[in-house]
Each structure stands twice: as structure tokens, then as C-alpha cells.
Structure 1
Amino acid sequence: MHTTRSQRWRDRRARWVPAASEIDPRRLAVDVIDSRKVAVPFVRAHHYAASMPVTRLSVGLFADGAGGRPQLVGVCVFSYPVNDASVPKNAGLQNPRAACDLGRLVVLDCQGGNAESFLVARAFRLLRREKPEILSVISYADPVRRSDGQGRVFMPGHVGGLYAVMAARYVGRSSPRTDLLLPDGRPMSPRALSKIRNAECGQRYAIDDLLRAGAPPPRHGEDRAAWLTGLERADFLRRRRHPGCHAYVFPLTRAARHAAARVPDHPYPVLDRSLTDGDVTALPLLRRAA
């Protein structure tokens, strides 16, 4: 079945507002924000992943707040691609730096149903102004329903309805993978786990994320890869197979549209809210947006 509601976020839990509800554009503003000081605290407080990707640009949605002061009610984060191969595969561009990912999109539930498209459309314009070398944006929709340790659903899964409404090209799924889930149901980033295993720069933050989630600290001199293996054996980290996220492309220039045309597109996936676990994509994929 299809939902008539728009997904929002607050305190890392999915919220819903009527899709027919509308914002008042006169009371909203969109602008570039400081990633570390402004975007990171907001994303960690409200996005289900509670983490921030390596960022190229962050854009904020502001509403009228108390005393006429602007209040941050949404954030759009443009990040580096998940890997260099994803750019030619999804966007048709050979230069990996010519595209970026829409790494995080968070809008609070105090905003109307069309707030996301309002934010994203204006964020694209700011991205072109601030980072003219970026020609396309790749976005992923995670269709897997996620629950915490108590069985409470905090991310119901989605198939990218917003991206379809905005006429993005649907180019299929990312590669299937195996996620390592924390006790609260959040997946650990494969890149963060790789940094720990290989003692790379940035491993301290990834380790701290595990410790904050309740993991026992590694013993003095303990090999980090062995420590992660021990967390799996103790069921602190749980493996779960993931079928792959739905991938969409927004070409931002004429050259990007020509490049994207070389990548086959497919009918938009359809959401099935009757499913109570796993992938919420309805099969077969038959519908294409008008």
C-alpha cells in the first residue's frame, strides 16, 4: 500500500506528517551552515544513524523561532561518494569528484509535507554555487525496516519517494552487503569498521562510537580486529544481510544529464507498508512516476 504521509525525524525516531500539509515559504530560509558546529549536532540528535559522513557541504533549513530568531529545523548534507566506483556506475561520470552523495537529509516533524523538496531544491542551487565542480548528486534510500533492542521500530524503511517526486533517475540498487548492527539496531559504517581493523586515521572516533553504545573497551595491546571479532562472538555486534539501497541520481547540469543518460534507468520502486520486517520494497517494480 502507499502512504499519504511524509517521513520526518526527531530524536532519532521516524515521525510522520500529512503529505498534503504545506509549508509557508515566507517563514522559511535555506542557507549554507557550518558542518562541524551546526550540522553535526543536529544530525546526531535526530537522524536514526546518529552519525555524520565525511562532508563536502552542509545546508540548513531555518524557520521563524521564538523572538523572531531563526530556528534550525532541517539539514541537508552533501558528502563524498561511498566509493569512487559508484560515480561512473550511477551517474555516468568518470571523475569521482564530479559527483557527491546526499549523505543525510533530516527535517523535523514541525514542518509540512513539502518541506523536504523545498530544502533539497534550494540546497542543490547552493551546492552548484559553492562547489561548481560537482555536476551530479547520488542519493540512496534504505528500504530495510530497523528496530532497536526492545523491538521498537525507529526506521521503517523507505524507497525514495521524495526523489521520485523530484524526478531523479532511479538506477537500481547498490550492492548487497552484510551489516553489523549495534544493540540499538543502528548499523556500524563499513568504513568505520575498516578504520578500526586496519588502524587507520579516524579509528578513534569509530571506537568511541562503539564504547558509547556500551561495548567493553579493548584490552591493553589487544589487536583491534580481534576486539571486533570478540564483540561479534558476544552478540554485541549482530550480522544482518542487507539487499542493497535504492540508488537515485540528480544530474545538475546539461553535461551531467548527458552522462547520466548512458546509465540505464528503471521504474521507480514502490513502498509496501504492509511488510513488518526486512525490505519494504513491493515487488515486482512496475510503477514509474508520471
Structure 2
Amino acid sequence: MPPVQEPLPFEDLPEMPPMSPWCQRWQAGRHSWRHVRDGGFNSRHYRVNVIPDEEPAKSFVLAHHYSRSYPAVKVQFGLYNVLGSQRKLCGVAVFGVPVSTAVLTRPLPHLQPYTQAVECSRFVLLDACPGNAESWFLARCFEALLSDGVRGVVSFADPVPRRTSSGVLVMPGHVGTIYAATNAVYTGRATARTVKLLPDGTVFHARTAQKIRRQEQGHEYAVAQLVALGAQRPCPGSDPALWLREALTAVGARNVRNRGAHRFVFRLGRTRREREEIELGLPAVRPYPKLPDPEPAAARTALRHARFLAHRPERAPLESP
């Protein structure tokens, strides 16, 4: 049986410049900015600790991060403001397990994935954190990871903005300020892909869709997510792939073209020599990218063709020129 494709509309959104002197902050899912020259950070007022129980970190990320999701975790750290009588959680860094080992083994082929190499999958600081807080926070996280045997961290910056179906900006796109400030190695873009966005601007991941099509563990939660947005419940015995196609169309999902997130790699070590001894599986690209990549003509042609196919009436006869 041929694969079922969802006839969803395509969007092509302009990318955020990947480098900027501004640092991103979050509060209840809304972004704000701090300029690097603002400063004001005093390390005596802050502490960084491992968060042993997942719940506090998960609740913090779900409350403040635009994705409203929490990844598979290896270790999570909290940034605490200790000025005054109360200890307040004002930032969370999550180092976790990506869906595929290739996310780690391609850039760091000689490190054991999930033990010596991990992904920085969430990094969230509140509005109250002053400028330059993130580089200090990240450095303390790296010190703790290194003492636990981690030698490499991979992180991604997605420059494509996300909007709700009504046009409200949910995420303006990531900028790489923190990567330049902490001397990460830029290794180019991840694989280009098409991302499905739900009406609220959140991503409906390909892995989630696969769970529904194959009826794998966890597909019930994914189905409930679409039903809550207005899709009909699947009938017993119905084809899961066909149901998914109809459900995504019914809730108003859209396809967004993504030319690949920017990939950054941190090599951890106590000295520069220790860091440089870690071999990269991908070439380092210098200097850091500062502007969005120019869009090739072939990509524009492919996008126009995809839009034509997506909006062409089914079984409409093709007219000869």
C-alpha cells in the first residue's frame, strides 16, 4: 500500500539571523530579550545544582518554554537566585537523549552516546535573569557534566520562527549568542526537513506521527492531542495512516519548510589540549554564521511545485500548454 501523504498547506517563513548581540529569555511561553552589554549579573547571587527529581524541572519548562514539551533526560540543572531569604528557581538546563544516536555520533564519532556525549535539549532562563547569566550558568553545567564523564555536548539553534494559525508569534527563531560566547564549534546545518505545525504553533513531530501510523507505545497520547484540537476520534479498525491524514487536515495543521537547524558542538575538558583532543566527525565551519543562508533557486522551484500540488484539486485533469 503506498504511503499516505497529508495535503497540508505549506509556509515558508524568513529565518532569524543566527548571530545577534541579544540573549533570549522566557516567561510563561513569551520571549523577551537582554542585550549582552546590559550585564548586571552577579554570580554571588546565584547557585547551580542538579535537580534530582524530574518534576520541578519539567513543570518549569512546560510553564515557560515555547515548545510546551519535555524531552528524555540524562541530567537536569537548575539556576537558583539565592539573594534574600528564599531560593528561587529561575533557569533550567536539560541535557538529554535525542531520538537517534546519529545526532551525537555524527559530530562526535569517538564518544559513547548518552554517556560521554549528550544533547542540550532545553535551556530556559526567566525574564528576571540579567544579561550574561546564561554563559555563567552553562559553564557551571559543563563543569558538572565533565566530572560525570561527559566529554561532548551537541546543541541546535532553529532559526525558523513559529506562529499560530492566527499569525501570533510564538517563537521568533533562535539566535546563537550563547554559542559564540562559550566558544562552541559550529558544524553547519542539520538535515533539511518539513515540520508540521499545529494551530497553536507547536510542532507535531515526525516521531509522534510514526507512533500513530504504527500504533506504537504512546500513540494514545498523540491521538488525544489531535482530538483535543478538534479531530474526530478514530473508529475501531480504521487505518491509522488515513485517520492521521484526515485529523491533521481537520485541526488546521501546516507544513513549514526548514532548511535545517544550526548545529553547535561543545568539547569538554579541563584544558584546551584536552578539548582539542576530541575529534570531530564533521568539519568545523568558520566564522559563525551571521545572516540567513541565501535560498538556492532549486529550493524556490521545489517549494512552488509543492504548493501547487498541495492546492491542486484532486483528480483535476492536467491541461496541455
TM-score, structure 1 length as denominator? 0.85
Q: Deviations over 1:178-215 (max 9, x none)?
A: 11111011112222222222222233333344345454
Q: Which amino acid in 1 is paired with 2:218?
A: G
Identity %: 37
My pick for the range that moved more, 134-143 or 96-105, is: 96-105
Q: Any unmatched runs of 5+ in structure 1?
A: 272-280, 285-290
- The reply to whether residue 55 of structure 1 matches residue 73 of structure 2 is yes
- 8 Å CA contact 1:92–1:259 kept in 2: the answer is no
- The reply to whether residue 41 of structure 1 matches residue 59 of structure 2 is yes
The 5 Å alignment of 1:256-267 reads 257-267=276-286
- 8 Å CA contact 1:93–1:256 kept in 2: the answer is no
Q: Deviations over 1:84-139 (max 9, x none)?
A: 1222321233533331110000000111111111111111122233x42x321000
The 5 Å alignment of 1:97-176 reads 97=114, 98-129=116-147, 131-132=148-149, 134-176=150-192
The 5 Å alignment of 1:82-101 reads 82-93=99-110, 95-97=112-114, 98-101=116-119
RCO greater where, 1 or 2, for CA within 8 Å and sep 6 or more? 2
- 8 Å CA contact 1:92–1:261 kept in 2: the answer is yes
Kindly name which structure, 1 or 2, has the bigger radius of gyration based on alpha carbons.
Answer: 2
Summarize the Cα distance change of 1:35–1:77 in structure 2 as closer, same or farther, 3 Å threshold.
farther
Q: Distance in 1 between matches of 2:228 and 2:80?
A: 30
- 8 Å CA contact 1:90–1:247 kept in 2: the answer is no
- The reply to whether residue 193 of structure 1 matches residue 209 of structure 2 is yes
Q: Deviations over 1:32-90 (max 9, x none)?
A: 1145311111111111111011111110111137x611111110000113411222321
Q: Which amino acid in 2 is paired with 1:168?
A: A
Secondary structure of the 1:91 match is coil
Partner of 1:206: 222
Summarize the Cα distance change of 1:31–1:153 in structure 2 as closer, same or farther, 3 Å threshold.
same
Secondary structure of the 1:149 match is coil
Partner of 1:73: 90
Summarize the Cα distance change of 1:162–1:216 in structure 2 as closer, same or farther, 3 Å threshold.
farther
Q: Distance in 2 between matches of 1:82 and 1:35?
A: 22
- 8 Å CA contact 2:107–2:280 kept in 1: the answer is no
- 8 Å CA contact 2:226–2:248 kept in 1: the answer is no
Summarize the Cα distance change of 1:240–1:31 in structure 2 as closer, same or farther, 3 Å threshold.
same
TM-score, structure 2 length as denominator? 0.77
Q: CA RMSD in A?
A: 2.4
Summarize the Cα distance change of 1:224–1:203 in structure 2 as closer, same or farther, 3 Å threshold.
same
Summarize the Cα distance change of 1:114–1:209 in structure 2 as closer, same or farther, 3 Å threshold.
farther
- The reply to whether residue 269 of structure 1 matches residue 289 of structure 2 is yes
Summarize the Cα distance change of 1:207–1:95 in structure 2 as closer, same or farther, 3 Å threshold.
same
Q: Deviations over 1:148-182 (max 9, x none)?
A: 12212121112422112110000011101111111
Q: Which amino acid in 2 is paired with 1:23?
A: F
How many matched pairs? 272
- 8 Å CA contact 1:144–1:157 kept in 2: the answer is yes
- 8 Å CA contact 1:35–1:55 kept in 2: the answer is no
Secondary structure of the 1:260 match is coil
Q: Which amino acid in 2 is paired with 1:106?
A: V
Q: Any unmatched runs of 5+ in structure 2?
A: 1-16, 296-321
